[in-house]
Amino acid sequence: MIASLLLIIGCLFIAFSIFGIIQYRNIFTKILLISKVDTVATLTIIIGLIFYQGFDASSIKLIILVIFLMITNPINSHMIARVAWLHGVPLEDSERTKS
Protein backbone atom coordinates (compact mmCIF):
# COMPACT_ATOMS: atom_id res chain seq x y z
CA MET A 1 0.00 0.00 0.00
CA ILE A 2 2.73 2.44 1.00
CA ALA A 3 4.87 1.22 -1.91
CA SER A 4 2.08 1.80 -4.46
CA LEU A 5 1.42 5.27 -3.03
CA LEU A 6 5.12 6.22 -3.22
CA LEU A 7 5.43 4.93 -6.80
CA ILE A 8 2.36 6.92 -7.87
CA ILE A 9 3.75 10.07 -6.20
CA GLY A 10 7.06 9.55 -8.03
CA CYS A 11 5.29 9.23 -11.39
CA LEU A 12 3.39 12.43 -10.58
CA PHE A 13 6.67 14.27 -9.94
CA ILE A 14 8.04 13.06 -13.28
CA ALA A 15 4.87 14.34 -14.96
CA PHE A 16 5.44 17.74 -13.28
CA SER A 17 9.00 17.80 -14.61
CA ILE A 18 7.83 17.05 -18.17
CA PHE A 19 5.16 19.76 -17.91
CA GLY A 20 7.72 22.28 -16.69
CA ILE A 21 10.24 21.54 -19.40
CA ILE A 22 7.52 22.03 -22.04
CA GLN A 23 6.12 25.18 -20.42
CA TYR A 24 9.16 27.38 -19.85
CA ARG A 25 11.57 28.82 -22.41
CA ASN A 26 14.54 30.13 -20.43
CA ILE A 27 17.35 27.71 -19.62
CA PHE A 28 17.84 28.84 -16.00
CA THR A 29 14.15 28.36 -15.24
CA LYS A 30 14.36 24.83 -16.60
CA ILE A 31 17.46 24.10 -14.50
CA LEU A 32 15.78 25.54 -11.39
CA LEU A 33 12.77 23.29 -11.93
CA ILE A 34 14.56 20.10 -13.00
CA SER A 35 17.16 20.14 -10.21
CA LYS A 36 14.52 19.87 -7.49
CA VAL A 37 11.69 17.90 -9.05
CA ASP A 38 13.84 15.25 -10.69
CA THR A 39 15.85 14.55 -7.53
CA VAL A 40 12.66 14.22 -5.47
CA ALA A 41 11.14 11.87 -8.07
CA THR A 42 14.22 9.63 -8.08
CA LEU A 43 14.40 9.42 -4.28
CA THR A 44 10.65 8.80 -3.94
CA ILE A 45 10.60 5.91 -6.42
CA ILE A 46 13.67 4.22 -4.92
CA ILE A 47 12.33 4.52 -1.34
CA GLY A 48 9.05 3.11 -2.65
CA LEU A 49 10.98 0.14 -4.05
CA ILE A 50 12.53 -0.46 -0.62
CA PHE A 51 9.00 -0.69 0.82
CA TYR A 52 7.94 -2.85 -2.16
CA GLN A 53 10.49 -5.56 -1.52
CA GLY A 54 10.68 -5.51 2.24
CA PHE A 55 13.93 -5.28 4.14
CA ASP A 56 16.45 -7.58 2.52
CA ALA A 57 20.13 -7.81 1.64
CA SER A 58 19.50 -5.77 -1.51
CA SER A 59 18.03 -2.87 0.48
CA ILE A 60 21.57 -1.87 1.44
CA LYS A 61 22.46 -1.37 -2.23
CA LEU A 62 19.30 0.70 -2.70
CA ILE A 63 20.20 2.89 0.30
CA ILE A 64 23.71 3.38 -1.13
CA LEU A 65 22.12 4.36 -4.45
CA VAL A 66 19.79 6.83 -2.67
CA ILE A 67 22.72 8.50 -0.89
CA PHE A 68 24.80 8.65 -4.09
CA LEU A 69 21.98 10.15 -6.18
CA MET A 70 21.09 12.61 -3.41
CA ILE A 71 24.66 13.95 -3.51
CA THR A 72 25.41 13.92 -7.24
CA ASN A 73 22.14 14.97 -8.89
CA PRO A 74 22.15 18.58 -7.54
CA ILE A 75 25.87 18.82 -8.34
CA ASN A 76 25.10 18.09 -12.00
CA SER A 77 22.43 20.80 -12.16
CA HIS A 78 24.67 23.32 -10.39
CA MET A 79 27.51 22.58 -12.79
CA ILE A 80 25.34 23.05 -15.89
CA ALA A 81 23.99 26.35 -14.49
CA ARG A 82 27.50 27.57 -13.64
CA VAL A 83 28.89 26.84 -17.10
CA ALA A 84 25.87 28.52 -18.73
CA TRP A 85 26.30 31.58 -16.49
CA LEU A 86 30.03 31.88 -17.19
CA HIS A 87 29.39 31.69 -20.93
CA GLY A 88 27.07 34.69 -20.75
CA VAL A 89 23.62 33.26 -21.34
CA PRO A 90 21.10 36.07 -20.60
CA LEU A 91 18.99 35.67 -17.50
CA GLU A 92 15.78 37.05 -19.01
CA ASP A 93 13.89 36.06 -22.12
CA SER A 94 14.42 38.29 -25.10
CA GLU A 95 10.97 37.54 -26.46
CA ARG A 96 7.93 37.56 -24.25
CA THR A 97 5.42 36.21 -26.68
CA LYS A 98 4.96 32.82 -25.03
CA SER A 99 5.12 31.68 -21.39
Query: Given candidates 2, 23, 75, 93, which one binds other proteins under the rule CB under 8 A?
Result: 75
Q: With binding defined as CB under 8 A, does residue 77 bind other proteins?
A: yes
Q: Is the dihedral of CA 45, 46, 50, 56 positive or negative?
A: positive
Strands annotated E in the chain: none
C-alpha distance from residue 43 to each of 25, 40, 61, 75, 95 (Å): 27, 5, 14, 15, 36
Q: With binding defined as CB under 8 A, does residue 68 bind other proteins?
A: yes
Per CB under 8 A, which of residues 2..61 are in contact with other proteins? 3-4, 7-8, 10-11, 14-15, 17-18, 21, 27, 30-31, 34, 38, 41-42, 45-46, 49, 52-53, 56-58, 61
Short-list 9, 62, 64, 63, CA closest to 37: 9
Strands annotated E in 29-89: none
| Chain positions contacting other proteins, by CB under 8 A | 3-4, 7-8, 10-11, 14-15, 17-18, 21, 27, 30-31, 34, 38, 41-42, 45-46, 49, 52-53, 56-58, 61-62, 64-65, 68-69, 72-73, 75-77, 79-80, 82-84, 86-87, 89
